[in-house]
């Protein structure tokens, strides 16, 4: 969410940001509403001052009933206040639909302007035609998507036997790496969140149709652990000495959007439910971009130790998510599918989420200001699992388990 002062004093900066994003948002109506809001506010303050002055003067006289115009003035103030409340709701509603300003370092354009920052490792040299994760999962008894569809519907996962154990091993290992080595505090949050939490992180109001909602309770299944974890400090003032705060959390994640890609997307590439270990940071503005680079490094650690070939991509202004100011995608190579798959997005939201969630901190010898929030996947399943299975498959169809996961699987070397 943006500061209204920015809208009033620098509307051209917002217009330029919208142009870079190719976002179909007009500021004209919002600016007119903001002018109306300020005029109403000024008029109400003037009337309240007049009412107080005349009421005090009458009270000193102590004679007769109060003049009729004082009652009329009081009624006018109440009516104007009600009108002000309505206009403020309109202002906030329209302001909530204006995306964040892209960082100046981003390439300008649509997804074709995304820039590969670095590529790590090499594509595996497989002297055979690699199978897809779907073929491997079926032949090794790791997946059963047909029964998943029977139980729930299409685009839902069902891991079986060693596949279920491997998924659990990945989650436990990733949490251990982030907590024991990178200093994150583990959180086990609720999988249901309220409307205020979804608004704070930017999912609402714009993306409500992509979310799973329990209508009777007006609660949402989490699209990512970013939502509950970021809201841990909603409406709080933190001390500067507490920052940076680093949290990690595992949750299942739920998103409707997968189905929009149709039946041509098979397997686990796009699913309505997936597991993810999330990384969330609360930092000072001065440190936020250094912390973003560190966040990307923490996610890269997982891919490196799994022996995956991957690349880091800086997203362009037109491919940036609604709330982000800058984002790096980590894309791992899936040999069977012959393509890179996004397995992590690491974003700096600057003060955009913090303003929506009212998360502030108290700097030394300065007035309270908003923190900067960051988050990233550390990393997301099942796409990482896809890349693992397809990268480490052998000619006979067996799969070598990466060394870091073996302690979590009783020392097994093969699936």
Is the pLDDT at 22 greater than 60? The verdict is yes
Q: How many CA atoms lie within 13 A of 314 on its CB side?
A: 17
Comparing CA positions, the residue from 286, 405, 301, 402 lying closest to residue 346 is 301
Q: Which of 66-75, 155-164, 373-382 shows the lowest mean pLDDT across its residues?
A: 66-75
Residue 63: which pLDDT band, with cuts at 50, 70 and 90? confident
Supply angle C-alpha 187, 193, 199, rounded to 5. 110
What is the edge-to-edge ordering of all strands in the sheet holding 310-314? 115-120, 310-314, 326-334, 339-348, 372-380, 273-283, 245-254, 185-187
Confidence band of 263 (pLDDT split at 50, 70, 90): very low
Given this model, what pLDDT does residue 62 score? 67
Mean pLDDT score of the chain: 95
Q: Give the whole-angstrom CA distance, residue 203 versus residue 90.
A: 19
Report the C-alpha gap between 407 and 56 in whole angstroms: 80
Out of 94-98, 140-144, 199-203, 258-262, least confident range: 258-262
Residue 41: how many CB atoms within 10 A of its CB?
15
Arithmetic mean of pLDDT, 238-247: 97
Length of the chain counted residue by residue: 415
**Distance (Å, whole) CA 275 – CA 213:** 19
Q: pLDDT tens across 303-318, in order?
A: 999 999 999 999 999 9
Which domains are assigned to the chain?
4-95 (1.10.287), 111-409 (3.30.930.10)
- Give the mean model confidence (pLDDT) for residues 139-148: 96
Q: How far, in Å, are 7, 32, 139, 401 from residue 28 at the CA level?
A: 11, 6, 59, 57
């Amino acid at each position: 969410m943006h500061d209204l002062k920015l809208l009033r004093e620098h509307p051209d900066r917002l217009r330029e940001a919208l142009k870079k994003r190719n976002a179909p948002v007009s500021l004209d109506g919002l600016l007119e509403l903001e002018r109306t809001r300020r005029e109403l506010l000024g008029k109400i303050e003037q009337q309240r001052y007049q009412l107080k002055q005349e009421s005090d003067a009458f009270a000193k006289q102590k004679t007769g009933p109060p003049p009729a115009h004082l009652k009329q003035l009081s009624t006018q103030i109440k009516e104007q206040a009600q009108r002000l409340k309505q206009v403020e709701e309109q202002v906030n509603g329209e302001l909530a639909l204006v995306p964040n300003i892209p960082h100046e370092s981003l390439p300008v354009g649509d997804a074709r302007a995304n820039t590969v920052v670095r590529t790590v490792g090499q594509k595996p040299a497989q002297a055979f035609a690699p199978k897809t994760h779907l073929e491997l999962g079926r032949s090794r008894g790791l997946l059963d998507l047909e029964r998943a569809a029977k139980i729930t519907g299409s685009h839902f996962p069902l891991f079986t036997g060693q596949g279920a154990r491997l998924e659990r091993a990945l989650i436990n290992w990733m949490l251990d790496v982030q907590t024991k080595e990178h200093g994150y505090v583990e959180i086990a949050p609720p999988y249901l969140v309220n409307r205020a939490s979804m608004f704070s992180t930017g999912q609402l109001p714009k993306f409500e149709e992509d979310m799973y909602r329990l209508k009777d309770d007006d609660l949402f299944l989490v699209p990512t652990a970013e939502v509950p974890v970021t809201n841990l400090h909603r409406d709080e003032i933190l001390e500067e000495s507490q920052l940076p705060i680093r949290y990690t959390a595992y949750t299942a994640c739920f998103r409707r959007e997968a189905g929009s890609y149709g039946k041509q997307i098979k397997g686990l590439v796009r699913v309505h439910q997936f597991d993810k270990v999330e990384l969330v940071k609360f930092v000072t503005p001065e440190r936020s971009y250094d912390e973003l680079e560190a966040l990307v490094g923490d996610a890269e650690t997982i891919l490196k130790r799994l022996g995956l070939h991957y690349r880091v991509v800086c997203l362009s202004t037109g491919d940036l998510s609604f709330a982000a100011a800058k984002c790096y995608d980590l894309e791992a190579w899936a040999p069977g599918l012959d393509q890179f798959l996004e397995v992590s997005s690491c974003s700096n939201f600057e003060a955009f989420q913090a303003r929506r969630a009212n998360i502030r901190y108290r700097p030394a010898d300065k007035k309270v200001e908003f923190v900067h929030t960051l988050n990233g996947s550390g990393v997301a399943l099942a796409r990482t699992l896809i890349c693992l299975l397809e990268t480490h498959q052998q000619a006979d169809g067996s799969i070598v388990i990466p060394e870091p996961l073996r302690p979590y699987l009783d020392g097994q070397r093969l699936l």
